Structure 1
Amino acid sequence: MADYVVIGGGSSGGVVAARLSEDPNTTVTLLEAGGPGNSKFVSIPGMFAGLIQDYKINKLNWRFRTAPQKKLNNRSLYHPRGKMLGGSSGMNGMVYIRGESGDYDRWSELGNEGWSYDEVLPYFRKAENNERGADDYHGDSGPLHVSNGDESFDFYSAFLASGEKLDYPKTADFNGANREGLGIYQFTTKNGERASVKFCYLDPIMDRKNLDIQVKATVRRIVMEDGRAVAVEYDQDGQTKRVEVGKEVIVSGGAFGSPQILMLSGIGPRDELEKHGITVQHELPGVGENLHDHPDVMFVFKSKKRTGISLGPLGTLKNLAAFYQYFTKRKGWLANPPTAAGGFLRSEPGKNNPDFQLHMVPLPYRNHAHDYMSMIKWGFTMIVNIGHPRSRGRLTLKDANPGSEPNIDLNLLDHVDDLKDMRNAFKVTQEILHGPPLKDKIAKPLYPKRYLDTDAEIDDFLRAEVNHAYHPVGTCKMGRDDMAVVDARLKVRGLANVRVADASIMPEIINGNTNATCIMIGEKAADMIKQDAAA
């Protein structure tokens, strides 16, 4: 028996397990469906593109596929997710972004008491160990290491200079008082290594006797009796095992895993459960609904000079030298996430706040690093995504087998405003990319193959090329309405001792990369659990 059973050792669940087990008198079992995540490739910041590859030998990645996206020419999208302790913090781009203050104030306005920006900021600071030191916005004594991005690629400086010529401001801190503008991101890295949740929260406490971490443990169901979780059943090493629950179950399987686990346990929409022969334990129609992600699109350019990163013959020789430099000195481009330059801008003058984000990659890269013919060239990519999409999809079960992947429909660009915002963001970005001094480094554009002049051309390109930004959220949303799954204390509505803590609880996605927010959710969830236990 464990006091607390945490399902999922990712960016939120790993934090919850670490914080709850700080009390030596509290027992915690952490069940992770993936492996231990000890591969050396996980720790190398520059290996992001390798970790997301869609190969069967890639055991660190769930390698999901979405349903055909009706507004994207019926394309099915590849969707990598971390299959290891640390979850997707072990394979993401490591950009440390919290979103804007209004994102959290909006959560609070929706009836989620305790989730305004001023109320969540202390948890961001609590988690953070920023190399710049502490101030009103940042912490310097938490477990999560945050470091400055490497500015050395000349594409970065040219991009920032092109933006400056168009009067876009430079921003030193995208998580401070004013995030609007262009600049260099910070990342969750330390001394040339990825600072994942496993690295920062779990590795230092592996010897805690009150923390039992089980990997390759696929949860079958939460066992419910009279609205209360009494045990969790899971498959491991060919056997079905069971851990009894003393106090609570915390579901932290992510935006895809958490609703699947709830439904397999009989918690969710009645029609969906009965369709798969699952006994309804607790009807909750919002489970799996409200799925959304940032839609993004990529500009790809070939450069005049052989600078940046390439997988061609000369680039491969340089990369071999880079591996030697990395393993001997922890220096070079492999020691740093190669998405350092970017920012937040407004897609049109009438917007109240910056509403789209940019990431620059010094490699011709698109379609989740599957376009190998682009990557053998020299050049760069600019990724554009809108921050507050209105389109909503859903997640449903394929069957009642816990080993089956769920049906994932992101429904990208379904809302007409998303297409409009993407189009306007595209126009703003295109103007920057085709302006001096950045344009002087470009040999030719690859995607799109020329400057697009009309809305119709841009819309056709977007439907053919838009993808997701690896930021799925919302499938167990927090709130008070009929489709809410959890309340402001993250308790599943109508159940005595089951909570959800991960990206799935976000009622609306934040404007920015979601990993820092998932870590904050884990920190705040652990505090609320402790408070409720002491009450």
Structure 2
Amino acid sequence: MTRFDYIIAGAGSAGCVLANRLSANPGVSVLLVEAGGQDTTPLIAMPGGATELMGDPAYAWHYPTRPFGPSQQVEYWVRGKTLGGSSSVNGMTYNRGNRADYDELESRGNPGWGWDDMLPVFRTIEDNALGASDVRGAGGPLHVSTVDAAEPLLEDAIGAGTALGWRRTRDFNESDEERLGYTMATIRDGRRSSAASAFLHPVMDRPNLTVAVHTVVDRVLLEGGRAVGVQGRQNGQAFEARAAREVILATGAIVTPKILQLSGIGPADTLRSAGVDVAVDSPYVGGRLHEHRAFRLQFRLTEDLGYNKVLGTQTGQQAAAAEYGASRGGVLARPPFDIVGFFKTRPDLERPDAQFQLASFSIQQLEPAKPLELEREPGMMCVAYALRPDSEGSIRITSADPDAALDIDPNYLATEHDRTTSVGLVRGLRRLFGTEPLANRIQHETVPGPGVQGDQEIIDAGLDLGGCGYHTVGTCAMGPNDDDVVDPELRVRGVTGLRVVDASVLPTMVSGNLNGPVTAVAWRAADLILAG
């Protein structure tokens, strides 16, 4: 058994930031625990490796959900399984959300999380290739850049958006209007900027920082109402470590509620049915889950454009890999999605309520826990989702055995708001692909297909043919009330010496991709920990 001042469970986007900040004080000792292994595979550094990594069980967890939708399919939610967590395997799209998102956190009774508090955090952590401004940071540890592809097919897509009145932009974080442009991503000079490369690796040689890989945290040790350490397994053997100051769970919105529930912190009925003694009856641990339902549209092109011809064959893949190896350039140096856009599904809205990401390739039928395979014929793919869904799902343990499957209920599209917005975004994207100059490139829609027109048909197609957004929040949400899982300083109610710092603490979605906001949440949390 080992002793440290701080134990951080999870070396993902939040954990790497916390390890960096807390170990900056040489007078404290920090243990960072990661269930996966080292992030040494070249596929992590190569942006184009994302689609391969997300299907590889060696580098990604695949959590099955309850069956849902008309076909009662089981979906697999993917999370990173290596240093850097999901930031080492994701699509690298960088969006922060906007003022209204963070001001809502504050208005819900969470002081210190408003935009005026969070914008300085973003500016501190960012090293944006566009340079510093009132809303951007430069010189920080996290590299962010925008690749201007300037290819005719992609330029036509942007041209169609501007014809619809959407502003072309290079920085999506400058405003909250309808806009589109080339993807801003955590990439610099053709290499992924993960949380591990940005925050952890530069400080790995600190003598007061210990990083334990292949180490699974199963439970938090509780004594007298205080968190005093963690128990788990390291390379299959029993593992225990003690914390003098705090245990911090940064294992994400899926695993953090699992660990709390296995530790006896959660809904009493859930714990008892799983055979776990109740230490703290906290009814919303694992509840209040929000997740994007991503609708997928695909189109056949009239000409042999896009990446299918490059990456759809082994020969093309080898040529692309050779180009990347020689120059860190080419298609494999870019994020998977070339274009990002935000738009309103109704003109009377104050701000966009839908986001899309467009790729100049199209995929074959998805198979669980396998890499994406591209079609051979030329195509384009677009995924889109309602930005701020209000349907609530849940995550529950089913047994006291930490290896037992979780009960993950996405409860997608359960509200009229989510259904109406999702139908509106599909119709809006069809307008985009039907607008010149992009329309001239489109032969026909292949997914879900022109026969899918009615509202319920669109919803059913989204449930059966779409996917999760990989943006789960809310399962340990912060708030001012006694039944909120954590308080505004992210301390777990009912226990001392225990915090949660990851996406699970967000009670609502931010308007964009989640990796940037989680990084900022961890930086802000470090301020709170260091001040306390």
Same fold (TM over 0.5): yes
Q: Distance in 1 between matches of 2:70 and 2:91?
A: 24
Shift of 1:367: 6.1
Distance in structure 1 (CA, Å) of the matches to 2:70 and 2:153: 30
Partner SS for 1:285: coil
CA distance 1:44–1:368, change in 2 (3 Å): farther
Alignment: residue pair count: 528
SS at the partner of 1:382? Answer: strand
Shift of 1:289: 0.4
Query: Counterpart in 2 of 1:30?
Result: 32
Q: Which residue of 1 aligns with 2:64?
A: 65
- Aligned AA (1:443): Q
> Which range moved further: 2-11 or 232-241?
232-241
**Residue 330 in structure 1 maps to residue 328 in structure 2:** yes
Which AA in structure 1 matches 2:128? N
Q: Which runs of 5+ in 2 are unaligned?
A: none
Counterpart in the other structure of 2:518: 518
What is the TM-score with the length of structure 2 in the denominator?
0.95
Distance 1:314 1:476 in 2: 41
SS of equivalent to 1:108: helix
The separation in 2 between residues aligned to 1:192 and 1:371, in whole angstroms, is 21
Describe the SS at the equivalent of 2:300: strand
Judged with a 3 Å threshold, the aligned counterparts in structure 2 of structure 1 residues 405 and 192 are, in CA distance, closer, same or farther, namely farther
What is the CA distance between 1:452 and its match in structure 2?
4.7
Percent of pairs with identical residues:
35
Over aligned residues, Cα RMSD in angstroms? Answer: 1.9
1: CA distance, partners of 2:374 / 2:319? 22
- Match of 2:63, as an amino acid? F
**Segment of structure 1 superposing worse, 147-156 or 365-374:** 365-374
Which residue matches 1:504?
504
Q: Which secondary structure does the structure 2 equivalent of 1:359 belong to?
A: strand
Per-residue deviation, 1:457 = 3.8
Q: Measure, in 1, the Cα distance between the counterparts of 2:407 and 2:459.
A: 27
2:42 aligns with one of 35, 40, 43: 40
Secondary structure at 1:231 match in 2: strand
Name the residue aligned to 1:413. 413
Specify the alignment match of 1:162 in structure 2. Answer: 160
Amino acid at match of 1:84: T
Using the TM superposition, give the Cα deviation of residue 373 of structure 1 relative to its aligned residue in structure 2, in angstroms.
7.3
Aligned twin of 1:353 = 351
2:82 and 2:234 map into 1 onto residues whose CA distance is 15
Give 1:447's aligned amino acid: V
Range with greater deviation from structure 2 (438-447 or 385-394): 438-447
Aligned residue type for 1:19: R
Contact preservation (8 Å) 2:132, 2:138? yes
CA distance in 1: counterparts of 2:204 and 2:371, whole angstroms = 39
Aligned residue type for 2:519:
I
Q: Provide the rounded CA distance (Å) in 1 between the counterparts of 2:365 and 2:288.
A: 25
The answer as to whether partners of 2:18 and 2:523 remain within 8 angstroms in 1 is yes
List per-residue Cα deviations over 1:288-347 (Å, max 9, x = no partner): 001111111111012122222127897442322111010111010101113121211000
Shift of 1:281: 1.8
**Within 1, Cα distance between the matches of 2:470 and 2:312?**
31
Tell whether the 8 Å contact from 2:312 to 2:373 is kept in structure 1 after alignment: no
SS at match of 2:211: strand
Deviation at residue 285 of structure 1 after TM alignment? 1.0
Deviations 1:216-249 (A, max 9, x none): 1111211111111112112112321211111001
- Structure 1 residue 204 displacement after superposition: 1.2
Q: Does 1:466 align with 2:444?
A: no
**Distance in 2, Cα, partners of 1:386 & 1:446:** 22
CA deviations on 1:131-180 (whole Å, 9 max, x unpaired) are 11111111112111101124244332111111122222223321113443
Between the aligned partners of 2:23 and 2:319, the Cα distance in structure 1 is 43
Counterpart in the other structure of 1:494 = 494
Aligned residue in 1 for 2:425: 425
- 1:320, 1:18 → 2: CA distance? 37
TM-score by length of 1: 0.95
Partners of 1:312 and 1:377 within 8 A in 2: no
Q: Distance in 2 between matches of 1:505 and 1:231?
A: 21
Q: Which moved more, 1:176-185 or 1:356-365?
A: 176-185
Which of 1, 7, 10 is matched with 2:9 structurally?
7
| Whole-angstrom CA distance in 1 between matches of 2:214 and 2:386 | 36
- In the alignment, what sits opposite 1:262? 260
Counterparts of 1:148 and 1:182 in 2: how far apart (Å)? 12
Contact 2:311 / 2:317 at 8 angstroms: preserved in 1? no
* Distance of 1:443 and 1:373 partners within structure 2: 21
User: Counterparts of 1:371 and 1:235 in 2: how far apart (Å)?
Assistant: 29
SS in 2 for 1:92: coil
1:365-404 CA deviation, whole Å, 9 max, x = no partner?
A: 3765769776232211011111011110000003212233
Letter in 2 for 1:353: R
